[in-house]
Amino acid sequence: MKRFLLAGIAIVAITAAGAASAADLRVPRARGPAIVPVYNWTGCYVGGYVGGAWNDRDGATFTDLGNANFASFSGGVGAARISPSHSWSADLRDSFIGGGTLGCNWQPFRSPFVLGVEGEFGHLRLTSDAFDPTTIRGGQTTPDVLGSARIGDWYGMATGRLGYAWDRILLYVKGGAAFVPVRGSVIDACLTTAAGCGNWVISTTSDRSVVTTWTVGGGVEWAFATHWSVKAEYMFIGLDDTRTSCGVATVASGAAVPGGPFCFNQHFDGINTAKIGVNYKFW
């Protein structure tokens, strides 16, 4: 009996001690989901990009304007020189583009809109050449008037950006000024004494000058880390520029063709560009 009593006391004591210990334990509170801070695009960045460029519509268009006596140069056709002023086109060859960007963004607190400015400088080189088909007339069987165009070897942009952000995703449009060097030339590369060639020779080259024009486009950017983002972008450069080159034509003897210099226009259409790039936000 005594053993049973002692065992019962021990059981009660152990149970009481366990209850007391349990009473001292605090019930843990349920934790809510972790708060993820919203990304802010404010800051300045530097970046690099690669992509491609291609011409819009006709690329480069050459126009034979003739001189004071003749409606067109037209390769020195041996007939009555009655070819009217005319044009021919040459598609610009596609170009690789690559370079760097520097810009700054500002995103007001709790606003999805992002304002920014950006400068871009890179390599671009579009070239083309095509013979004037009008030179095949009369007894002439070889095209000899060659028009050549060149855009590049560099270009630059100064633009503003307006974007709408969904946290780390930014959809934006941009526009501003573009700076592109252009040059054109027209030469008669066929000797006047060669069979099938025209009777005149000429060589004209326009000055290589930098055209200041407009550009517009847009893209999407993703900030995959605190300081790093990637983008895909399309921009159109509205070149739409015309150069004029003039030169004195000569006959086989070296004498000048009457009527003064012959002139040619070289017109450049717009340029499409597409690129992918990486930006680093340093501030």
In a domain, 59, yes or no: yes
Helix, strand counts (H, E) of the chain: 1, 13
Percent of the chain past pLDDT 90, that is, above it, reads 52
In a domain, 85, yes or no: yes
In a domain, 3, yes or no: no
At residue 75 the predicted structure's pLDDT band, cuts being 50, 70 and 90, is: low
In a domain, 16, yes or no: no
Q: What is the pLDDT of residue 33?
A: 53
Average pLDDT across the chain, whole number: 84
Q: Are 47 and 120 in contact (CB under 8 A)?
A: no
Q: For the chain, what is the domain count?
A: 1
- pLDDT tens for 128-147 read 999 888 877 766 777 788 89
Q: Are 70 and 271 in contact (CB under 8 A)?
A: no
Reply yes or no on whether the pLDDT at 245 is more than 50.
yes
**Burial category of 133 from C-beta neighbours within 10 Å (exposed 0-12, middle 13-18, buried 19 and up):** exposed
In a domain, 229, yes or no: yes
Q: What is the pLDDT of residue 56?
A: 80
What does the pLDDT average to over 39-43? 95
Look up the pTM and report it: 0.80
- pLDDT tens for 87-109 read 999 889 999 999 999 999 999 98
As given in the structure block, the two tokens for residue 14 are 């152990």
Other C-beta atoms closer than 10 Å to the C-beta of 31 total 6
In a domain, 64, yes or no: yes
CA distance 274 to 27: 60
DSSP string, 220-261: EEE--SSSEEEEEEEEEEE--EEEEEEE--B-TTSPBPTTS-
Reply yes or no on whether the pLDDT at 20 is more than 50.
no
Q: What is the pLDDT of residue 165?
A: 96
Q: What is the pLDDT of residue 200?
A: 83
Structural domain of residue 53, as residue ranges?
Answer: 40-281
Candidate from 195-204, 228-237, 253-262, 266-275 with smallest mean pLDDT: 195-204
- pLDDT tens for 246-262 read 999 988 788 898 889 99
What does the pLDDT average to over 210-231? 96
Q: What is the CATH number for 235?
A: 2.40.160.20
What residues have CB less than 8 Å from 160, skipping those under 6 apart?
115, 116, 117, 118, 174, 175, 176
Return the top range by mean pLDDT from 196-200, 251-255, 271-275. 271-275
Candidate from 1-5, 15-19, 100-104, 232-236 with smallest mean pLDDT: 1-5
In a domain, 79, yes or no: yes
In a domain, 25, yes or no: no
What does the pLDDT average to over 192-220? 84
